[in-house]
C-alpha cells in the first residue's frame, strides 16, 4: 500500500492518504491496523462509501459492536446516523467527553465515523490520549489507580429520566431510552490495551459513575480530578472534518467529544463500531 501518513503532535492522530477503503487486500488491512494502534486516531480523506461499503470495511477490522439506545439506519442494523438538523436546540450528540459504550461488559475496540454532510463552520471532534494522561501521573498515583475498579453506567444519557433531562425527545436522531441503562458494569480504572500492552487512564465523565473501592464522596472527588486531568490541552487533538472523510479511533485508550458551533447548518455522519473485549484488572 503506497500511502502518505501525516502525524499530529506526539503521534496522537494521523491522516492517511493514497488508499481506497473500498478495495483493500489483507496486507493493507494489517498496515491500517498497525497505523491505528500507533496513532490511535486515523482519518482517511476522500472516501466515498455507501452503507454496504462502510459495513464491509468495518468487518475487515473485526465483528460489529453492539449498538444500544440509538435506532440504526433502515436495513442496516449496525450503522447509526449521527444527525443534527439546522434548527435543533439541544447540544450535539456526543457533546460530553466519553469513550463509546464503556458501560458495556465488552466495550467496542473501535469507532468508525464517515462524514456525509459537514457544515462550513464548527463541528470538530476533540480526542484525548489516555496513554499520555496516565503516563503524566506520578508513579505512586499510577500504582494506586491500578488497584481500583471504576463503575460505568448508561443511566445519565439513556435512562428514561436521563433521556428527558438531556432533551432526547427534541433530537432528529431516534434515541431509545431503557431501564437497562440503570445497570452497572465494573472496569479497571487503568486499562491495559490487549494489543499494545500499554496502559491508559480509562474513565469518562458520561459513563463513569463511581469507584467500587471508595465511598461516593471520595470517589466523586477523585473522578472529578481525573476527568479534568485526562482532557488537559496537552493530551488533546482537535480533528477537523471534511465531507467523505472516514475516521477510526481506539476506544480502549481514547476519549472523544463532539463540538458544536454550527447552528443553522445540517451535519450528518454514519457510524459503526468494532467489537472489543472485556477490560481486565492489572496491578503490576
Question: In whole angstroms, what is the distance from residue 264 CA to residue 192 CA?
Answer: 42
Rounded to an integer, the average pLDDT of 256-277 is 97
Name, in order, each residue with C-beta under 8 angstroms of 115's C-beta and a sequence gap of 6 or more. 241, 242, 243, 244, 245, 246, 247, 268, 269
Residues annotated as catalytic are 98, 100, 256, 271
- Domain locations in the chain as residue ranges: 4-274
Classify domain 4-274 at the CATH class level.
alpha beta
Please give the helix or strand (H or E) that residue 44 lies within, else none: strand 41-44
Rounded to an integer, the average pLDDT of 158-185 is 93
CB distance 261 to 117 below 8 Å:
no
For 206-235, b/e burial (b = at least 16 CB within 10 A) is bbbbbbeeeeeeebeebbeebbebbbeeeb
Higher pLDDT, 284 or 249: 249
Ranges of beta strands (E only) in 45-175 are: 80-84, 110-117, 125-129, 149-152
Question: In whole angstroms, what is the distance from residue 132 CA to residue 281 CA?
Answer: 19
| SS3 state at 73 | strand
pTM across the whole model = 0.96
Name, in order, each residue with C-beta under 8 angstroms of 256's C-beta and a sequence gap of 6 or more. 94, 97, 98, 99, 100, 111, 125, 126, 127, 128, 249
**Distances, alpha carbon 170 to alpha carbons 154, 174, 230, in Å:** 19, 9, 31
Name the grid cell of 131: 496513554
SS3 content of the chain, % helix, strand, coil (to 5): 25, 25, 45
pLDDT value at residue 277: 96
pLDDT value at residue 267: 98
Residue 154, pLDDT > 90, answer: yes
Residues of the chain with pLDDT > 70: what percent?
98
Amino acid at each position: 500500500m503506497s500511502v502518505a501518513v501525516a502525524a499530529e503532535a506526539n503521534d496522537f492522530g494521523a491522516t492517511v492518504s493514497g488508499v481506497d477503503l473500498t478495495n483493500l487486500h489483507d496486507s493493507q488491512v494489517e498496515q491500517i491496523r498497525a497505523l491505528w494502534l500507533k496513532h490511535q486516531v486515523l482519518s482517511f480523506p476522500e472516501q466515498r462509501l455507501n452503507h454496504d461499503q462502510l459495513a464491509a470495511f468495518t468487518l475487515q477490522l473485526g465483528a460489529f459492536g453492539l449498538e444500544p439506545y440509538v435506532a440504526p439506519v433502515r436495513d442496516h442494523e449496525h450503522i447509526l446516523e449521527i444527525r443534527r438538523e439546522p434548527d435543533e436546540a439541544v447540544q450535539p450528540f456526543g457533546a460530553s467527553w466519553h469513550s463509546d459504550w464503556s458501560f458495556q461488559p465488552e466495550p467496542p475496540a473501535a469507532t468508525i465515523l464517515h462524514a456525509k454532510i459537514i457544515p462550513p463552520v464548527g463541528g470538530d471532534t476533540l480526542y484525548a490520549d489516555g496513554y499520555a494522561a496516565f503516563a503524566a501521573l506520578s508513579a505512586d498515583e499510577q500504582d494506586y489507580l491500578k488497584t481500583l475498579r471504576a463503575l460505568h453506567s448508561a443511566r445519565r444519557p439513556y435512562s428514561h429520566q436521563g433521556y428527558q433531562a438531556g432533551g432526547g425527545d427534541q433530537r432528529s436522531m431516534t434515541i431509545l431510552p431503557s431501564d437497562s441503562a440503570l445497570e452497572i458494569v465494573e472496569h479497571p480504572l487503568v486499562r491495559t490495551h490487549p494489543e499494545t500492552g500499554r496502559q491508559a487512564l480509562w474513565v469518562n465523565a458520561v459513563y463513569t459513575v463511581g469507584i467500587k473501592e471508595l465511598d461516593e464522596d471520595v470517589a466523586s472527588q477523585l473522578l472529578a480530578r481525573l476527568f479534568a486531568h485526562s482532557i488537559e490541552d496537552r493530551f488533546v487533538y482537535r480533528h477537523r472534518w471534511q465531507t467523505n472523510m472516514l475516521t477510526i479511533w481506539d476506544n480502549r485508550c481514547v476519549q472523544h467529544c463532539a463540538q458544536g458551533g454550527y447552528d443553522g447548518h445540517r451535519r450528518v455522519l454514519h457510524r459503526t463500531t468494532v467489537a472489543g473485549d472485556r477490560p481486565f484488572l492489572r496491578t503490576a
